[in-house]
Every structure is written in C-alpha cells, then in structure tokens.
Amino acid sequence: MKKIVLLFVTFLSIFRFTASADEGMWIPMFIDRLNYTDMQKMGLKLTAEEIYSVNNGSIKDAIVIFGRGCTGEIISDQSLILTNHHCGYGSIQSVSSVESDYLTNGFWAKSHSEEIPVSGLTVQFLISMSDVTTAMLAGTTENTTEAERIEILKKNRKSIETQATTGNHYNAVVKDYFEGNEFYLLVYETFKDIRLVGAPPEVIGKFGADTDNWMWPRHTGDFSMFRVYAGADNKPAEYSADNKPFKPRHFLPVSIAGIQKDDFSMIMGNPGTTDRYLTSWGVDMAVEETGPTIVKIREEKLRIMKEGMDADEKVRLQYSSKYAGTANYWKFFIGQTKGLKRLKVAEQKKRIEADFNAWMDASPVETKLYGNALPLISGAYSTIRQYNVSRLYYAEGIMRGSEILGYANRFDKLKQLLADKTATPETIEAEVKQLKSGATGQFKDYNRQVDQNLLSEMLSMFSANVKPEHQPAMLKEMAAKYKNNFAAMAADIFSKSNFVSVEKVNTLLNDPKVKTIEKDPAYKLVQAFMKEFTVLQKQSEAANFDLQKGNRLFLAGLREMQPGRKFYPNANSTLRMTYGTVLDYYPADAVHYDFTTNLDGVMEKEDPSVREFTVPEKMKEIYKNKDFGPYGNPDGTMTVNFLTTHDITGGNSGSPVIDGQGRLIGLAFDGNWEAMSGNIAFEPKLQRTINVDIRYVMLIIDKYAGAQNLIDEMVIVNDRPIK
C-alpha cells in the first residue's frame, strides 16, 4: 500500500512541478545533456559546441557581463558591444554635461578616435566554468553546523579562486547553485578600457520611460553601443590612447530577415537573482511586508528627486540615472506583489510542500534526511519577520537613502587608521589619497538640497515605521530634541557636516584628525545606525542559518523526489541560456496582445508636452517618408519591439535574442506587467520577454544617425524569403 501511495504522490508532484518548454535559466555547459534535443525540435540549427565551448570560439564568447548588472554582446570583429540604453544610461550620463548632453541629444562616434572612454566601466568574458562541489564541501559533514559550514566554505572558496588565478590575468569566483548543494568555479577575463560608441537620444532609447516600463505594448529603442579595447597583446589593459579594439573569439552576425510568430529563439545572458524554490512562508512575507515596504520608501525617494530634477536642468542630468535605477524596481515590486496575489502563488507553494511531506511520510529514509527542512524554514521565517521591516528601512531608507550617510561611512576606515598607533604614515596616506580621488566623482552628480530633503524624509519615515526597540538611541534622542522636526534636523546636520561638498572633504583630508571625523554629525549618525543594524543582524543570525539549511535540504529533497525532472538553478548573475519562441499572449479575458509593435505606435503615443513621449523631428521624417531601407517589413510597416516566451530577469537586460542559426535578431530589455511574479513563479501563459527588434536598432544607426561606419563593420544577413 505504501508503494501505491508513494507512486501517487510522485505523480502529483511531477504534475505540479512540470516546467513548460520555455521555462528555465539553464547552465550552458550542460546544453548537450539537458536541452539540446528539445531545442532542435523547436528549430535550433547549431551544434551544442557552437553554443558553448571552452576550447573553441562559440556564442558564449560573444556574451559579456556589462558593467555591474547587465549583459552585452559582441557584434563585430572589432569588439563592438550592443546592450540596452538603460544599461548604458549611467555611463552615457557620466560623460555628459549640460553643454554636451548625450542623454538628451544622443551620441555617435564616426571613427574610433571619437569614441569616449568611460571611467570605471568594465566588461567580463566568461573563459570557463567547472564543477568544484567536492572541493568546496571538503571538511564538512552532516554534523557540521551552519556557522562552521560557512567558515569552511569561505576558506575553500578562497583557495579554489586563488589557484584558478595564479599565474594568469584572469579573475575567478565560486558561485553557489541549487541553494548550496552544488558549486561552480567561473573564470573571467575583465576589460577596463571600454568606450562609448553610440546611443540614440533619450526620447528614443527610453521612449515611454516610467509610464511604459514593464508594460506591453512597448515602442522603445532601448539600445546603446560601446567598444572593448585591449593592449598590444590583445589582453586587458588600463586606458591608453595606444590601445586597440579587442579581437574577440566570436561575434554575432546580425539578421535583418525579420521575425515570425512561433520562430525559435534563444537568449544568453547573466540573469541576476530569482527565487523559484521559495516556500509559501517566503511568498507570504514578500506579499505582506517586503514588496509594500520597498514601494513605500522608494515612492518618497522618487518624489523628492523629481522635485529637484523638475526645478533645475543641471539637477535633472545629475539625478537622471539615480532616478531611473530607483524607479525601475519601485514599479517592479508593485507588479510582483499584485502578481503573487492574483496567481495565488502562496497556495501553489503550499500544495508543493504538502506533496513533499507526503513523499517523506511514505519513506523513513527520506524523513530522516529531509524531515527537518520545512520545520526549519517555517521557524526561521517566524523569527525573521520580527526584523524584516526594520531591516528594509535600514537598507532602503538609510544606506540607500540620503547619500551623505553612506559617504560619511566611507571615512570610518581612515578614522580607525588615525586612531591606530601602529598604523604607518604610508598606510594612512594611501587611504587619504583614495578618498581624495573619489571625492570629485562623489559630488559630480550631487545636489546638496536634494540630498538634504532625502535625509529629512528618510529619517522621518524610519522614525515612524521602525519598531522603537530597533531604532538607534541617537535618532530617538535627536527626534526628541528637534520635536520630530526632521527637516530642521537634516538642515542642522548639513550645515555642520564635512561631507556635503568636495571643498569641505578636501579640507578635512588635507589635515585629517580622529576628532574631526568622530564629531561630524553625519558620521556620528551613520555609525549609530550601523551599530544598531549589527545588533539586529546578530539577533536574526540563527534564524538565517536555519533558513539557509532548510532551503538546501528542501531543494535536495525535491530533486530526489523527482529524479526524472530536469531542474535548473536559481539565477545568480552567471551565464545562463533560455529558449522559446516568438509569441503573442492573452493577458485577460477578451484581451489579446499581438507579438510585435510598429513605428505607427510611436507616432500614436507622441505627446510633445510630455518628455517621455516626445518624438524627434528626424524620426517623424523617416516615418512620413517610409524611409526604412532594408529594415522595414514587406507590408510597409517598421517593427519596433517584439515578444518571446523566454525566461529572464534583471541582469538579462541587453541580452541578445538569437535565432536558430546563431544570428542576432533583437535585444531583451524588459518583462511584462502581468508576469511580475516571474522571479518566484513562472507562468507560461502570461510570461513574456519584451525585445527591441534588431531591425529598429539598425534603422536608427543607419537612417537616423547616419553612422555608416558602424553598419560597415557588422556582418549583416538578410535571407528573408522572396514572396
């Protein structure tokens, strides 16, 4: 009888866990074993080796981690990079000024000599990936505590990474997969001389901005172009006028043949984070606390920044990138909370957990191995929720709120060195030099009044919404002193702090003293916050250890419960592949969304009185004359964006959409509103990736910018059937 029950439970769990053909962020090195047959059936014409290879040039060699959180692709033998406009936004802004406003006006280099170096921007190529699970777990046993395990893993990780980078110019990182059940070593080649090549004006690259963000239909030319430069040996080098374009191992040809419904396509990129194996307790916390709290805090930050930006053109340029970054996930969390509720994801998770318990009940062996998993998770969340809202206010409102607090905190190391009688003058001078070098950049895109307003509002919100027992004593004392007039409190801090201008910072650094730093009101306040936050972290440490162990056991058990299922790990900012088709969808009853949008829609949305819906005169002229060249459709329309069924998340921005023959057909740049719960639960009927059609990119480069030099260096393919 027990066998019958076990078979029935297994059947139910497989039914509930079965992934759609388009679900999954797959590890490319396992394509041949896990995905290749399915991909061939859907229309793939390449071999697995042509997609991912360590020994030969393959598609993976054309994919880069762009900056700190996006993906880019190499599209020429001179290492021309294509990525999203919103990925390049901060870099474009950093080289802009009121006089040379490349965000507003766009930028196009007509030769290599005109390309603009971007300080601090890097791209990383994945060289290799290997399984190091055995080496990482060496020294651990089933009796090892979580605290001990963390220390052992830390030691082993350092050893593995050091060994991988000794005697070469690579950098390496060991990443956790499947909640710490597996570990892989990733070796990268990082380039630091990256130059801006081209970008459309913001009204094209960010058309629709916050209003259209996460929405379909979209009409956005979300792309920008950069180039990788290398030294004479074709290896990474610091910026030099003598550097030459890097010679890549592979680049993607561009197809202007166009897309059709049900066409096969795949995406390779570096998705940030997902939590597909999150339990019902985690979903409940996300819906009830995490999402609403983040939205509430960011809403106020956006309001304050916008007030300053609307009042002053210089402030608009300074804060444009900061505003965009804050707004993106403000809207995301609104959509995620709605999606999790609407799709009843917590209920889905509870059914999975019930299946898991039933499976264990049918076998004493499994109960012994995994019986603690769900109780550990449940108990952990019970404790974590006591601190969750407070933690979010510390993170979003304090450390990512007003810049003065985070900046003041950077001077703590200098204060410690000055107080340390064993510290050498050389060590102190090196720290002073580093702080001086960073001061100019800190205040380049900074407005004192905006930051003061942010401090006032964030302190007010923190005081009103964080449990009194989780607040620093100093804040409560100051609130009493100023009678909860946080505007007056913030004004007083700014009037007395050394961290409000480059001039004051340099004055401090020219004669640094312990007392000068210690007495600074911004420094004192942030240290009070940091001290109290450390206490909160310590109080929830045991619960976090239990959650970590519970999640690891739960996923290990799920994989054993379903030996025939192909599991993919959560995203963790490493190279992944997802595949699917070009497809429309039905977001609600009696509502249908087609899979493409056209330039007609841009003109329909045009509103000269609203910045984000302004259309440049030259684009209007191109549209009026139907001057689409080889990029338009046979019916005389011009495709702008299209939908696919790919499984992506943040970090995939800028990822190439590639056809079955390995050619670039678009760039992924967004997900759709109806599937904002996708980081936690994939919904195949609703989840879509929004992409820029490569033909629209080419139209802008060619007809709008007249950048024939860029067109000439690409390999462009057009094998559209003649009708």
| 89-93: Cβ within 8 A, 24+ apart | 89/205, 89/206, 89/224, 89/320, 89/321, 89/324, 90/321, 90/325, 91/67, 91/118, 91/121, 91/194, 91/196, 91/224, 91/226, 92/196, 92/199, 92/224, 93/317, 93/320, 93/321, 93/445
Residue with tokens 């076990």: 6
The verdict on whether 86 is a catalytic residue reads yes
- The number of CA neighbours under 13 Å toward the Cβ of 115 is 29
Cα–Cα distance, 700 to 707 (Å, whole number): 9
Torsion sign, CA atoms 180, 572, 325, 215: negative
216, 643 Cβ separation under 8 angstroms:
yes
636, 707 Cβ separation under 8 angstroms:
no
Secondary structure (3-state) at 378: helix
Residues with Cβ < 8 Å from 170, sequence gap 6 or more? 127, 164, 187, 188, 189
The verdict on whether 653 is a catalytic residue reads yes
Exposure of 581 by Cβ count < 10 A (0-12 exposed, 13-18 middle, 19+ buried)?
Answer: buried
Q: 13, 653, 655, 677: which is the annotated catalytic residue?
A: 653
Secondary structure (3-state) at 135: helix
341, 287 Cβ separation under 8 angstroms:
yes
Would you tell me how many other CB atoms lie within 10 Å of the CB of residue 419?
11
Identity (one letter) of the amino acid at 323?
Y
The verdict on whether 219 is a catalytic residue reads no
For residue 467, give both structure tokens: 């449990």
Q: 53, 58, 85, 86: which is the annotated catalytic residue?
A: 86
488, 479 Cβ separation under 8 angstroms:
no
Q: Which of 61, 70, 73 is nearest to 91 (CA)?
A: 70
Q: Which of 707, 634, 640 is nearest to 667 (CA)?
A: 640
Torsion sign, CA atoms 19, 21, 27, 29: positive
- Can you say whether residue 688 is alpha, beta or left, with left for phi > 0 and alpha for psi between -120 and 50 degrees? beta
431, 388 Cβ separation under 8 angstroms:
no
Q: Phi/psi at 706 (nearest 5 deg)?
A: 65, 30
Cα–Cα distance, 465 to 401 (Å, whole number): 15
206, 222 Cβ separation under 8 angstroms:
yes
Reported as type and span, the H/E element at residue 576 is: strand 576-581
Q: 22, 222, 355, 659: which is the annotated catalytic residue?
A: 222
3-state helix, strand, coil in the chain (%, to 5): 50, 15, 35
> Active-site residues: which are they?
86, 222, 653
